[in-house]
Amino acid sequence: MTDELPVDGEALRAQVREKYRTVAVEPDGTFHFHTGRALAARLGYDPELTAELPDSAVESFAGVGNPFSLRALEIGERVVDVGSGAGFDSVIAARRVTERGRVIGVDMTPEMLRRSRETADLLGLTNLEFRAGMAEALPVEEAWADVVIANGVINLCVDKRAAFDEIFRVLRPGGWLQFADIANGRPLPPEALADIDLWTA
């Protein structure tokens, strides 16, 4: 990727915020992607695990894969969830690492942050917190995390190099990056790269 970005970063973030604001406040709405419990089942999340979670933790879930299928989290680990949304993966992570570990979810959409914080309070997860921020500028100290997870987020970042730089900044040496995302294996024409609507399609 060159230093010149193909679309305006602020315009893309505004469009992404608006799309996921709608997912947060209208989880039963119609979207071009799947959401909720049916999606979690399709992506291979443990049905017993998701069944015990309240609707507020699951109904606005909009991931594209299951980052926990790559490796089970361990008790006591410190985890950063990049683009945590309504908190579904963060809640799962917080339960897995137990009170001996800690999870920080980072999202840039106020409505998603509100929903995720309410869920954490409802479930009494004192080892879980949510911070406002972006993937390209994570509000987490250097080398803090044992694990960084991300689910359908990096594809929405205009500056993917900056996002990965931040992920590796907050990971400790030898830490784990576990992410699920959408990728296109073929080059795109310049006019497609410059079409901001295609970035969130």
Distance CA 22, CA 109 (A): 10
Give the pair of three-digit tokens for residue 20. 């996921």
The amino acid that residue 108 corresponds to is: M
Give the pair of three-digit tokens for residue 82. 């990049």
Question: Has residue 45 been placed in a domain?
Answer: yes
Mind listing the pLDDT tens digit for each residue in 148-197? Answer: 999 999 999 989 999 999 999 999 999 999 999 988 777 778 777 777 76
The overall pTM is greater than 0.75: yes
Distance CA 198, CA 40 (A): 25
Report whether 47 contacts 138 (CB < 8 A): no
Distance CA 157, CA 106 (A): 14
Count CA within 13 A, CB hemisphere, residue 141: 2
- Crossing angle of helices 110-123 and 88-97, in 10° steps, is 30
Question: Has residue 37 been placed in a domain?
Answer: yes
Strands 128-132 and 171-180: unpaired
Total structural domains within the chain: 1
CATH code of the domain in which 86 resides? 3.40.50.150
Distance CA 201, CA 19 (A): 10
**Could you count the other beta carbons within 10 Å of the beta carbon of residue 187?**
8
pLDDT band with cut points at 50, 70 and 90 for residue 201: low
Question: Has residue 54 been placed in a domain?
Answer: yes
Mind listing the pLDDT tens digit for each residue in 12-34? Answer: 889 899 999 999 999 999 888 99
Question: Has residue 151 been placed in a domain?
Answer: yes
Question: Has residue 19 been placed in a domain?
Answer: yes
Question: Has residue 4 been placed in a domain?
Answer: no
Look up the domain containing 13 and give its range: 9-199
Residue 101: closest CA among 114, 111, 113, 92: 92
